[in-house]
Amino acid sequence: MSLNISNLTSYVDEQRMSLIRKMVLGGRSVNFMTIQPDVKSAVSVNTISSNLVASAGGCGWNEQGTTDLNQNTLTVCPLRVNESVCITDVENVYLQYLVQPGSYATDFGFEQIYTEDKVANISSLIDTLVWVGDTSTTGQTSLCDGLITLAETTYSADVVDGNIYSLTALTAANIIQAVDGIAAAVPANIIDRDDLYLFMGYDTYRLYATALRNANLFHYTGAENQGETFSQVHPGSNITVVAVKGLNNTGKMLLSAKANLIFGTDLLNDYENLQIWYSNDNQEVRVAAKWKQGVQAAFWDYVVLFAI
């Protein structure tokens, strides 16, 4: 008599493999900006600039020129993430093997990878808000204004136009020309700085890197030889091209000096310090993350923006 297993369902071992966290493209923009910590709500970015006027020597007093003291306000946005986990729900699925024995369990057993996943996603959101945050819109990007929004609205009269060739689309055939145009538009007063960064999305960067490789044939030396992934010095310049998550799928690029772009926050790693606790009142595990962020430039006339 044969073994009859028709009444059994196919077995799937749900417990053998550990949880695998979905990969998230994290943020790194703040690494190329000036950090201003300890900002609770707003802080003035105080600047000084001179309009120097010299005259021929001689006797007497010939007063000319001015020294301007100005301020830009950097406002941080208080942000938070609140979630909860009902341990009873976890006990009803395969993850029950991670929950501590007993009916009074106070943790759900995979807090570490859960925390890592939240931190990675918050880092990604921070990068998006740094660039394309826009409080006039809706959704996640409406939480705080980013550099592109400020450059195109509040400070548009000061920002340098980097699309000097009036390109209407970025292609493999014109991306190098577009970057050359941005380099040509850099204000003379900052042209010799060693902290000039040109930010673009990863999609634009890949287009740019491919075009460079094809144009230079066997002579191409890209990011792999310059010590930073998705970053390289634009040939014939002192400008470091950097791919950032926040500019993905925008077709926009922004150049300035690191010293000129300011990221304001309260405590830089606040968002990494997730609080996880068991709430007796609610009979669930609660998760909270809080942080503050905002961006500003000291001199917007030293910001070059490329937009189609």
Q: Domain containing 124: what range?
A: 31-51+63-306
> What does the pLDDT read at residue 184?
98
Q: Is 217 left (phi over 0), alpha (psi -120 to 50) or beta?
A: left
DSSP helix, strand, coil percent of the chain (3-state; round to 5): 30, 25, 45
Q: What is the DSSP letter of 300?
A: G
Residue 278 lies in a domain: yes
Q: State the Cα angle at 191 between 188 and 193, rounded to 5°.
A: 135
Helix (H, G, I), strand (E, B) or coil at 17: coil
Its sign, for the CA torsion 180, 161, 199, 247, is negative
Helix (H, G, I), strand (E, B) or coil at 70: strand
Residue 56 lies in a domain: no
Q: What is the DSSP letter of 205?
A: H
Q: Give the model confidence (pLDDT) of 18-61 as tens digits.
A: 666 666 667 899 999 999 999 999 999 999 999 999 999 989 99
| CB within 8 Å of 181: residues ≥ 6 apart | 162, 163, 164, 165, 167, 306
Alpha-helical regions (H) of 38-166:
87-91, 111-132, 147-152
Residue 14 lies in a domain: no
Q: Give the model confidence (pLDDT) of 231-290 as tens digits.
A: 999 998 999 999 999 999 999 999 999 999 999 999 888 888 889 999 999 999 999 999
> What does the pLDDT read at residue 248?
97
Residue 137 lies in a domain: yes
Alpha-helical regions (H) of 4-106:
87-91
Residue 224 pLDDT more than 70?
A: no
Alpha carbons 29 and 39: distance in angstroms, whole number? 19
Q: Which of 6-20, 124-138, 247-261 has the lowest mean pLDDT?
A: 6-20
Alpha carbons 53 and 33: distance in angstroms, whole number? 33
Question: Which CATH number does the domain housing residue 295 bear?
Answer: 3.90.1690
Check if the beta carbon of residue 128 is closer than 8 Å to that of residue 246.
Answer: yes
Check if the beta carbon of residue 286 is closer than 8 Å to that of residue 280.
Answer: no
Position of tokens 């208080």? 78
Number of domains in the chain: 1
Residue 5 pLDDT more than 90?
A: no
Helix (H, G, I), strand (E, B) or coil at 30: helix
Distances (CA, A) of 140 to 152, 207, 291: 19, 27, 15
| pTM of the full structure | 0.89
> What does the pLDDT read at residue 273?
85
Q: What is the DSSP letter of 19?
A: P
Residue 251 lies in a domain: yes
Average pLDDT, the chain: 90
Radius of gyration of the chain (CA): 26
Q: Give the model confidence (pLDDT) of 65-118 as tens digits.
A: 999 999 999 999 999 999 999 999 988 888 888 888 888 999 988 998 999 999
Check if the beta carbon of residue 285 is closer than 8 Å to that of residue 108.
Answer: yes
The one-letter code for the residue type at 153 is T
Distances (CA, A) of 190 to 122, 197, 232, 234, 303: 33, 12, 19, 16, 10
Diameter of the chain measured on Cα atoms: 123
CB-side neighbour CA atoms (13 Å) of 301: 7
- Six-digit token pair at 94? 């395969």
User: What share of the chain in percent tops pLDDT 90?
Assistant: 72
Alpha carbons 146 and 100: distance in angstroms, whole number? 44
Alpha carbons 287 and 271: distance in angstroms, whole number? 12
